[in-house]
Amino acid sequence: MPRTVLITGAASGIGLAMARAFAREGARVLLHDVKDVSRLAEELGGVFLQADLSRPEEVEALGRRAAELGVDILVNNAGFQHIDPVEDFPLETWQKMIQVMLTAPFQLIKALIPGMKARGWGRILNVASVHGLVASPYKSAYISAKHGLIGLTKTVALEAGPYGITVNAIAPAYVRTPLVEGQIQDQARTLGISPEEVAEKVFLAQAAIKRLIEPEEVAELALFLASEKASAITGAVLPIDLGWTAR
């Protein structure tokens, strides 16, 4: 029987690549986003579920609906970034980022894990970041959320393992997404250098391999972790970081 997968933040970037990859493998894909991607869901033979993850009540409603649809694989992917020194970081923005990238994944795990336990099988994939393992300046909320997501991953893995459920985190470095490409353009204007120089000298300064990661590469890792071949892997954080954390 085909598996059912819920992917949050599926409108573009990593989420969209994952939705396409899982659909290609025959999964029933539930595409979540804050904006309407119903046409995309239809193209992939899936279902569109809209919710604003910054609103806990909407996350709860999303979790209930997803549970009714029998989700076997949960991919917590949605997120966003904000850059500011900690003394200037708006509290409201901090709270929103923690809600979207840490509290909402907890809410969805809480809603969907009972069904996975009942079926004796499940996969939970949390898209963390290389910034869940290391820090950079001016990203205090993002880095706090991603570090917390890795802790949540490990804890739930220990609780869910006896029920045939694996829980893992993927930790990418900079991926070629609309968000990252926009940040590169912004930095190029600010620094007065070319986008190519920004990518190499700023974004990829810590990387051994000097290129952006393609969203499809992250999607392929997600497919593997959701497969039976990865049934012995749980509580793991898998970097796909171009060698960033090898230092």
* pLDDT tens track for 189-227: 988 999 999 899 889 999 999 999 999 999 999 999 999
- Over residues 15-29, the pLDDT tens digits come to 999 999 999 999 999
Q: Report how far Cα 56 is from the mean position of its chain's Cα atoms.
A: 18
Model confidence at 229, pLDDT cuts 50, 70, 90, reads: very high
Q: How far apart are CA 17 and CA 215, in angstroms?
A: 6
pTM comes to: 0.96
pLDDT in the model for residue 170: 98
pLDDT in the model for residue 1: 63
For 209, other C-beta atoms within 10 Å of its C-beta total: 12
- 3-state SS track over 150-161: HHHHHHHHHHHH
Domain spans, the chain = 4-172+213-238, 174-212
Residue written as tokens 């898209």? 127
Number of H helices, E strands in the chain: 9, 7
- Cβ neighbours for 49, distance < 8 A, ≥ 6 positions apart: 6, 30, 31, 32, 62, 65, 66
- Over residues 153-185, the pLDDT tens digits come to 999 999 999 999 999 999 999 999 988 998 899
Catalytic annotation on 142?
yes
Fold of 4-172+213-238: Rossmann fold (3.40.50)
Residue of 138, 142, 163, 174 with catalytic role: 142
What are the residues facing 167 on neighbouring strands? 124
Among residues 116, 25, 11, 23, the alpha carbon closest in space to that of 63 is found at 116
- Over residues 73-96, the pLDDT tens digits come to 999 999 999 999 999 999 999 999
